[in-house]
A and B are shown apart, each in its own frame.
Chain A
Amino acid sequence: MSFDGASFEARDINAWRGDRHILRDVSFRVDRGDFLKITGPNGVGKTTLLRVICGLLPAETGELHWRGKSIRGARDEFNAELGYLGHLNSLKADLTARENLRFLAGLRQSLTAADIDATLDRVGILSRGDLPARSLSAGQKRRLALARLLLADAALWILDEPVTNLDTAGIQLVESVILDHVQRGGLAIAAAHQRLLDDAPCLRRLELEP
């Protein structure tokens, strides 16, 4: 998929959770090759903002633009270029790692067994490929979810705390896949507490304040 001309812009996003006004006039723009890191204390609305960007939560007011066009009314086209790694790993405990990828990532892209093996190898769990997901450790499950994101071949990545449960090598892995992605011309937006690509030139920051 070509990432040419990919850009994402949010203008004056306002959102409520219950009766709390969480996001107040949040605006930002991400262009190809950018990695936007959203920081802020717990409960400030990082996850809410990411879910609004994905379209899982409706914003009360504000506009979202993808490739210069409003995503309202072009939801499926936007979703096809969007990869979302949420709090939940979206894995089925009874399916093996390979089956999890085949049945979920396969919904977006036609995958061959070689594609799946290459990606499992990339995230370092190739030897666990035929184990049911229930027997993987928390960190290995996160790696498997990351493999799903890689296979989606999306232009815009939305990552919610991508390094949760990961060891040092796992954090480096996440950093390297994000770097690869933005160097290919992709876009990434992540909410993170920990250090994540803090010295990279592609990094842009968005600080949410309570």
Chain B
Amino acid sequence: MTRTPITEAARLVFVRDLTLAWRRWDEVAQPLIFYVVVTTMFPLATTPDLSQLREIGGGVVWVAALLSSLLALEALFRADVEDGTMEQWVLSGQPLGWVLLAKVAAHWVLTGLPLVIMSPIVGTGLGLPVSVWGVLMLSLLLGTGTLSVLGGIGAALTVGVRRGSVLLSLLVLPLAMPMLIFGSRAVSMQMDGDSPAGPLQLLAAIFFMALSLGPIAMSAAIRISVEN
């Protein structure tokens, strides 16, 4: 037997989480259902007039996506900490940051990516024209990716705390505000015929910052959380 290379270790964690999700698909589908339901309710509650809906459409899609991603975050590390898997990961001799990043990547594929894929459909319901689909999806791709990493840090910090979900929202929501502002701004600029490059580049910058520093913060937080 030889020592597992880190890429293979990360792949195992990733595949494991997808396998587990496949066997518990009802839990995974919950954020997506929430996303579709919330965005469908807006035309019913406000106005069916597409020209008015179009004004708020981008913002509504973004708020709904943000809240649905948050919904799934609390459970991110909890099961693994409670059944002792996390202890084994900490002691595996593999860089913990990579292992946790693989887990966050699986979480994003399960909860973030479906939101991105669904966004043109729910956007159409809110009167968003085809010309903004690309910008909407790209901004959500960067935004949900960042939120998964930021949420991973929050979940790692609060996993050892009883009733940590309230604390988690308080921690993550303020950090998510810049993404919400730049994301919905990019969509409305595209709709008004301006170039959305500025806000998109800022979103990308936040994403890469989270991706590069997030694993360090997550592994430090998890090491504290498993001390109990």
A100 smallest CB distance to B (angstroms): 9
Number of interface residues, chain A, beta carbon within 8 A: 36
Contact partners of B26 in chain A: CB under 8 A: none
**Which of A86, A90, A95, A153 is packed against the most chain B CB atoms within 10 Å?**
A90
A145 smallest CB distance to B (angstroms): 9
Contact partners of B15 in chain A: CB under 8 A: 103
Contact partners of B3 in chain A: CB under 8 A: 80, 108-110
Q: Are A56 and B9 in contact (CB under 8 A)?
A: no
A60-104 contacts to B, CB under 8 A, are 76-77, 79-82, 84, 86-95, 99, 102-104
The answer to whether the Cβ of A138 comes within 8 Å of any Cβ in the partner chain is no
Q: Are B93 and A80 in contact (CB under 8 A)?
A: yes
Q: CB < 8 Å: which of A88, A93, A107, A151 contacts B99?
A: A107
Q: Are B12 and A106 in contact (CB under 8 A)?
A: yes
B87-102 contacts to A, CB under 8 A, are 87-95, 99
The answer to whether the Cβ of A173 comes within 8 Å of any Cβ in the partner chain is no
Number of interface residues, chain B, beta carbon within 8 A: 29
- CB-CB under 8 A for A56 and B93, given A94-B24, A95-B19, A107-B9: no
- For the complex, what is the distance from the CA of A110 to the CA of B87, rounded to whole Å? 20
Q: CB < 8 Å: which of A76, A82, A91, A107 contacts B89?
A: A107
- CB-CB under 8 A for A89 and B84, given A94-B23, A106-B4: yes
- For the complex, what is the distance from the CA of A92 to the CA of B20, rounded to whole Å? 9
The answer to whether the Cβ of A55 comes within 8 Å of any Cβ in the partner chain is yes
Q: Are A99 and B89 in contact (CB under 8 A)?
A: no
The answer to whether the Cβ of B2 comes within 8 Å of any Cβ in the partner chain is yes
The answer to whether the Cβ of A57 comes within 8 Å of any Cβ in the partner chain is yes
Q: CB < 8 Å: which of B23, B84, B93 contacts A76?
A: B93
Q: Are B227 and A58 in contact (CB under 8 A)?
A: yes
- For the complex, what is the distance from the CA of A106 to the CA of B89, rounded to whole Å? 11
Contact partners of B23 in chain A: CB under 8 A: 94
Contact partners of A99 in chain B: CB under 8 A: 16, 19
Q: Are B4 and A107 in contact (CB under 8 A)?
A: yes
- CB-CB under 8 A for A107 and B94, given A92-B83, A95-B16: yes
* Nearest chain B residue, comparing its CB with the CB of A106: B12
List residues of chain A with CB under 8 Å of any chain B CB. 54-58, 76-77, 79-82, 84, 86-95, 99, 102-104, 106-111, 115, 148, 151, 153
List residues of chain B with CB under 8 Å of any chain A CB. 1-4, 8-9, 12-13, 15-16, 19-20, 23-24, 83-85, 87-95, 99, 226-227
Given contacts A79-B90, A107-B94, 6 further A-B contacts (CB under 8 A): A79-B93, A89-B83, A91-B83, A99-B16, A104-B88, A106-B9
